[in-house]
Amino acid sequence: RRPPPQSGPEGWGLGGGRRLLSLELLEEAEDLSLALLGTGLPGQLPPECRELLVGFANSSVRLTGCLVRSARPVRLCQSCYRHFQSVTEQLENITRAVGNSSESNCAKSLLMSDRVQLVVILSQFFNSTWKTANCANCLKNNSEGLSNSTIDFLDLFNTTLMCFERNFQGQAINFVPSNHTEVCRNCSQTYRNLNALYNKMQKMTGQGSDSEHRTPLCIDVEDAMNITRRLWSRTFNCSVPCSDTVPVIAVSSFILFLPVIFYLSSFLHSKQKKRILILPNRIQSNASLVNIQEKYS
């Protein structure tokens, strides 16, 4: 009644796999015994709910595995969106079960009958991760696949990386650390295209909201771009901007010099503004003035 424990699509070493397999079998046995134990009593979890729970467990295991495996380099959205979708579906099944059968209220017993509420915590974690990564941005509207622009971008990204690889290998033989002119020359066009596409995508996402809270692109695209840029300007040292220090210094010192002239000339040529003093008339003998001065000196 539950799918056989599956090994991941790729990656596990044989030994580790076997250990994990045995662990999983053990868990399953425990599940079964608990389920059998519990069915008799009215307060225990009904079997259909248990089924839902196990379904959620399986899908979240798959999603977690996928997330961790595609953490570096970031491939979250590309590789895990199906898993994420299935987790969402499972959760929906649980919540929707409320209406179906009133006597076996699965949602209530699974989602809110204890303090920890593990299912909720897990689903919140998945959701927030998905949101932080902003995967929705590079998926189609109904989350059924990568959006066209993302696919284009990833294609171009792969091309660029290939170009880098091709040109770099030629140079790696006579290893000169800073001089990668060949890479720079040959791949410049692809790199520029990639950059332009990235900027275009950025602009498109930023259109809806205001400038302060721009929604970022999805993490896959961002990370891919970051990697490329770092390779391009740090490793290959390709972006060498022209620095024209002399004219900048000349112009700025000219501007900085202007106020000096201004203040000097206004000091020398402008007539100082004078105030005309006015004698107040009041009954005040000289004696009292002296008096005050004595008092306070």
Partner 1 sequence: MSRPEPDAEPREAAAPAERPRPGRMANVAKKVSWSGRDRDEEDEPPAAGETTPLLNGAGPGAAGGPPHSRPFTHSPFLRLGQLSSVDLDDNVRELETEAPNQFPSEIPHSEKLLSLKYESLDYDNCENQLFLEEERRINHTAFQTVEIKRWVICAMIGILTGLVACFIDIVVEKLAGLKFSVVKDNIDKFTEKGGLSFSLLLWATLNSSVVMVGSIIVAFIEPVAAGSGIPQIKCYLNGVKVPHVVRLKTLLIKVCGVILSVVGGLAVGKEGPMIHSGAVIAAGISQGRSTSLKRDFKIFEYFRRDTEKRDFVSAGAAAGVSAAFGAPVGGVLFSLEEGASFWNQFLTWRIFFASMISTFTLNSILSFYHGNPWDLSSPGLINFGRFDSEKLGYTFQEIPIFIVMGVVGGILGAIFNALNYWLTMFRIRYIHRPCLQVIEAMLVAAVTAAVGFVMIYCSSDCQPLQEDSVAYPLQLFCADGEYNSMATAFFNTPEKSVVSLFHNPPGSYNPMTLGMFTLMYFFLACWTYGLTVSAGVFIPSLLIGAAWGRLFGISLAYLTSGAVWADPGKYALMGAAAQLGGIVRMTLSLTVIMMEATGNVTYGFPIMLALMTAKIVGDYFVEGLYDMHIQLQSVPFLHWEAPVTSHSLTAREVMSAPVTCLRRIEKVGTVVDILSDTSSNHNGFPVVESSPDPTQVAGLRGLILRSQLIVLLKHKVFVERANLNLVQRRLKLKDFRDAYPRFPPIQSIHVSQDERECMMDLTEFMNPSPYTVPQDASLPRVFKLFRALGLRHLVVVDNHNEVVGLVTRKDLARYRLGKEGLEELSLAQT
Q: Contact positions toward partner 1, by CB under 8 A?
A: 195, 209-217, 222, 225-226, 229-230, 232-234, 239, 241-245, 247-252, 255-256, 258-259, 262-263, 266-267, 270, 272-286, 288, 292, 295-297
DSSP letter assigned to residue 144: S
Strand partners, 139: 146
Please confirm whether the linkage preceding 73 is cis (ω < 30° from 0): yes
- CB 59 within 8 Å of CB 86: yes
Minimum gap (Å) between residue 235 Cβ and partner 1: 10
User: Could you tell me the smallest distance in angstroms from the CB atom of residue 216 to partner 1?
Assistant: 4
Alpha-carbon distance 122 to 60, whole Å?
8
Q: What is the rounded distance in angstroms from the CA atom of residue 6 to the CA atom of residue 25?
A: 11
Q: Which residues pair with 146 in a beta bridge?
A: 139
Nearer to partner 1, 6 or 233 (CB): 233
Reading the block at residue 33, the tokens are: 């015994």
Question: Interhelix angle for 47-69 vs 76-100, to 10°?
Answer: 170
Q: Please, what is the minimum distance in Å from the beta carbon of residue 230 to partner 1? A: 7
Element (H, E) at 99: helix 76-100
Task: Give 21 or 154: the residue with its C-beta nearer to partner 1.
Answer: 154
Q: Which is nearer to partner 1, 102 or 253 (CB)?
A: 253
Indicate the residue among 157 and 232 with the shorter CB distance to partner 1: 232
- Write down the least CB distance from residue 293 to partner 1, Å: 9
Are 68 and 27 in contact, with CB atoms under 8 Å apart? no
Least separation, in Å, of the C-beta of 221 and partner 1? 12
Q: Closest approach of Cβ 71 to partner 1, in Å?
A: 18
Shortest spacing between CB 47 and partner 1, in angstroms: 43
Pick the closest to residue 186 from 202, 169, 210, 207 (CA basis).
Answer: 169
Task: Please report which helix (H) or strand (E) contains residue 138, including its range.
Answer: none
Reduced to 3 states (helix: H, G, I; strand: E, B; else coil), residue 179 is coil
Select 41 or 255, whichever has its Cβ closest to partner 1: 255
What's the min distance (Å) between Cβ of 238 and partner 1? 9
- Smaller CB separation from partner 1, 148 or 297: 297
Place of tokens 């991941």: 8
Chain-centre distance for alpha carbon 228: 17
Residue carrying structure tokens 């495996």: 69
